[in-house]
A = this chain, B = another copy of it.
Amino acid sequence: MVKLSDEMKTEFEKMKIFPLATASKDGVPNVIPIGMCFLQEDLETIWIVDNYFLKTKENIMANPKAAIYVWGPEINGCFQVKGDIEVVDSGEEYEAMRTMVKAKSDRFPAKLLMKMTITDVFECKSGEDAGKKLL
C-alpha cells in the first residue's frame, strides 16, 4: 500500500471530476468522468461510488484495478494514482457510503462502494519526467 503525501491530499481534494480508467479482462480500456471519488483519512484508500457504472462495473468485477489522475486548471502539478479495487455491497462502510451519498441527493442510487487501495503514484505532468513512479 502507498500513502499520498499531504501535498497530494491538498490537490486531490480540489478536484471536482476525476477521469476513472478501468480495463476489461482482455485489456480493452475504458475511461469515464466521475464526481464521487473520496480520499480517506488514511491517505491510502479512495472510496469510489457506483451510481451509474456499466462497463466500469463489468470491468472491475472481472479485473479489479483502476487508475485516476489528479489534474486540472486549479491543480498544482499532475499525478496518476493506480490501485486495486474491493467491491463492497454491505456492512458498515457500505452503509456509511450510502448515508453520505443520500445526504447529497436522494436521486443518486449509490449502488456499490468501490474501495480502492492505492498501489502506485506516477508523475503525470507533461515533460521528460512524465510517467515516472513517485510512490
Contacts and interface: CB of A to CB of B under 8 A. Distances in A.
A80 B19 CA distance: 11
Contacts of A65: 27-29
Contacts of A20: 31
A22 interface: yes
Interface of A: 17, 19-33, 35, 51-56, 63, 65-69, 71, 78, 80, 82, 122, 124, 126-128, 130-132
A55 B126 CA distance: 13
Q: How many copies does the complex hold?
A: 2
Contact of A54 (B26, B28, B51, B131): B131
Contact of A69 (B32, B127, B128, B130): B32
Contacts of A30: 21, 29, 67, 80, 82
A127 B107 CA distance: 10
Nearest to A66: B29
11 contacts: A19-B31, A21-B67, A22-B29, A23-B23, A23-B29, A29-B66, A32-B124, A32-B131, A52-B131, A53-B130, A54-B130
Contacts of A78: 33
B19 A52 contact: no
A104 to B, nearest CB: 13
